[in-house]
């Protein structure tokens, strides 16, 4: 592909994505988020933002007449199932590992009776015994592990088709893998900026608000983007990233429930994976996968080859009488 044409497509995609997202978040979500009477609708509106990158992929492909051949949206299962399994299960394991590390460092912040979860129920007018809360947590964990990647697949595909199914492949045609990962991660983080300012990611009460929150979100997106980019590049599909993203979203808050109260969590440390300690497993994974991808790129083997069309079978007809 011509580099200037590639750059034009990246610019159009990013321009559309950021303009539409920022206008929608500032003028629509900004009027309802944080207001208790609009809690349900604000959750729905925030979730709907995830469809915007996919919409902008479609618009960009139409505007630039690129079409939809090899659009990185098909599953491409053959020979790649292991990447889907990795995307499904690895986030759960790393989230658990990060939470355990956090509570080992801060044992006074661990509550086996899950005080934070009890307070969440109490705010809804519900009062459960600790044994009942533990049983519900076990059920919630099982449900999150088994179902969250599927239940979240529509919204996460909305994001991942944009970032890992379009931006990362386009950048990788212009740049080596390390700057591709860094640039795409920062872009993804900045895309979240209006919601971060509104308190969606880290709240409103932390040192350096909102700039440290935006920087933290960029760092988090770089770390997570490496994993999502790896499974996408290795399969030539955004769907493994969407599954991993769904697993992350469905399980990320589990560690918080094991604190005695919400104030026992630390915005930038943990136990959630958005914190430095809670996300330690993902940080280690980022380093490992970056080294692997650099080596694969040197061998020209980083990106899975395009799916080859099935060869047509010639049909001969015996015309002899």
Domain count, the chain: 1
Residue range 283-316, pLDDT digits in tens = 999 999 999 999 999 999 999 999 776 654 444 4
Assigned domain for 259 exists: yes
Assigned domain for 60 exists: no
**Share in percent of the chain as helix, strand, coil (round to 5):** 70, 0, 30
Helix (H) and strand (E) counts in the chain: 13, 0
Assigned domain for 2 exists: no
Assigned domain for 23 exists: no
Q: pTM for the whole thing?
A: 0.93
Containing structural domain, residue 224: 71-298
Residue range 32-65, pLDDT digits in tens = 998 888 888 999 999 999 999 999 999 999 999 9
Is there a contact between 213 and 205 (Cβ–Cβ < 8 Å)?
Answer: no
Of 255, 225, 215, which is closest to residue 98 (Cα–Cα)?
255
Report the pLDDT value the prediction gives residue 1, as an integer from 0 to 100: 52
Match 């909305």 to its residue by tokens. 158
Rounded CA separation 259/271 (Å):
9
Assigned domain for 137 exists: yes
Assigned domain for 138 exists: yes
Assigned domain for 155 exists: yes
Assigned domain for 16 exists: no
- Model confidence at 216: pLDDT above 80: yes
């Amino acid at each position: 592909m011509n580099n200037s044409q590639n750059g034009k497509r990246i610019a159009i995609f990013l321009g559309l994505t950021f303009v539409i997202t920022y206008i929608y978040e500032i003028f629509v979500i900004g009027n309802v988020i944080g207001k208790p009477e609009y809690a349900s609708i604000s959750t729905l509106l925030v979730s709907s933002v995830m469809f915007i990158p996919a919409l902008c992929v479609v618009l960009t492909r139409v505007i630039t007449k690129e079409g939809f051949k090899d659009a990185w949206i098909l599953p491409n299962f053959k020979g790649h199932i292991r990447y889907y399994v990795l995307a499904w299960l690895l986030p759960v394991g790393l989230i658990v590992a990060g939470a355990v590390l956090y509570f080992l460092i801060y044992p006074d912040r661990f509550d086996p009776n899950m005080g934070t979860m009890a307070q969440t129920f109490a705010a809804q007018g519900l009062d459960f015994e600790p044994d009942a809360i533990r049983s519900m947590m076990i059920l919630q964990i099982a449900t999150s592990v088994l179902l969250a990647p599927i239940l979240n697949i529509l919204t996460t595909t909305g994001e991942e088709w944009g970032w890992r199914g379009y931006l990362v492949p386009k950048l990788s045609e212009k740049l080596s893998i390390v700057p591709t990962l860094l640039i795409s991660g920062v872009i993804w983080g900045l895309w979240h900026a209006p919601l971060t300012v509104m308190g969606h990611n880290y709240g409103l009460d932390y040192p350096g608000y909102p700039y440290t929150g935006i920087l933290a979100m960029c760092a988090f997106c770089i770390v997570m983007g490496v994993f999502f980019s790896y499974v996408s590049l290795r399969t030539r599909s955004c769907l493994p990233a969407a599954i991993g993203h769904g697993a992350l979203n469905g399980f990320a808050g589990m560690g918080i429930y094991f604190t005695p109260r919400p104030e026992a969590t630390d915005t930038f440390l943990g136990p959630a994976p958005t914190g430095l300690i809670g996300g330690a497993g993902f940080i280690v994974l980022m380093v490992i996968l970056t080294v692997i991808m650099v080596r694969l790129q040197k061998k020209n083997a980083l990106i899975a080859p395009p799916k080859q069309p099935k060869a047509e079978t010639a049909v001969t007809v015996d015309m002899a009488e």
